[in-house]
Amino acid sequence: MEEFNAITFLTQGGPVSMSVALALLAMSVASWSLLITKLWQDLKTARNGAAFVFHFHTHRSLEAAEHAVQEDSEYKQLTRLGMAAATHHQSLTVEGCSRDEFTARALQRGLQEVQGRMESGLTVLASVGSVAPFVGLFGTVWGIYHALASISASGQATLDKVAGPVGESLIMTAFGLAVAIPAVLAYNALVRRNRKAMARIEAFAYHLHVYLVTGRMLPAAKAEFSATTELKAATA
């Protein structure tokens, strides 16, 4: 009885089977590398953002809070953008656009840029999750065709001669699913993390906008400050 052998299947399948296997390997490496990179970036962003929000609430001016935190973050970038917009509006006479509206537009543009950076790479995970099963299926179809062609040429169509090559060709479908399933799970997890992170950043942008326009912090920001202090203590 012939035993299943994935290496033999790949070598006998020719350039097509090898290309399919290499494509699936490249997809797997790309999805796992992207997942690890994004998780590290999210962790760094959360830590640096918590530190900046802490100094944002404890210092008397935005300039002092900005200089107190050396690490860059989305929170710090939004603060720079908002301060630049408020200063620019104050130095110029802008008709038909109040300081409130001018600063809000600048912060909105900054939030869109932050969201774009956070969503970068997610298309790769979505593409891998949707394409990998079909690539594996293509490898299976090609393997079955190649196996049946070889059996037909040898003239031996017994069950043991058919089951081995056909079973080996099904490995490509398993490879495709093994690549696609982690990519889909990683995509859903990162989308959820990005949604939560954007909610925190948008809340900070709102408090920053109020502070830039009125010069005072909202009373509701005290609750956020307390939560940020706990997060900072937990990540210290």
81 contacts: CB under 8 Å, gap ≥ 6: 106, 107, 109, 110
- E-assigned strand segments in 50-177: none
Point out the residues of the chain with pLDDT beneath 50: 1-4, 229-236
Whole-angstrom distance, CA of residue 85 vs CA of residue 90: 9
Tell me, what amino acid is at 227?
A
pLDDT of residue 28: 92
For 187-203, letters b (16+ CB in 10 Å) and e give: beebeebbeebbebbee
What kind and span of H or E run contains 34?
helix 14-58
Residue 2: its pLDDT value, please? 46
Residue 5: name the closest of 147, 122, 190 by CA: 147
Are the C-beta atoms of residues 173 and 142 closer than 8 Å to each other?
Answer: no
Q: Are 140 and 170 in contact (CB under 8 A)?
A: yes
Nearest to 215 by CA among 26, 119, 82, 105: 82
The predicted pLDDT at position 60 comes to 59
- The rounded radius of gyration (Å) of the Cα atoms in the chain is 28
What pLDDT, on the 0 to 100 scale, is given for residue 179? 92
Whether residue 56 contacts residue 75, with contact meaning beta carbons closer than 8 Å, is answered with yes
Are 56 and 79 spatial neighbours (Cβ–Cβ below 8 Å)? yes
pLDDT of residue 97: 62
Residues 197 and 78 sit within 8 Å (Cβ to Cβ): no
pLDDT for 170: 79
Neighbours of 37 (CB within 10 A): 11
**pLDDT tens profile 36-74:** 998 888 888 777 777 777 777 666 566 666 665 656 677
The DSSP-derived string for 70-84 is -S--HHHHHHHHHHH
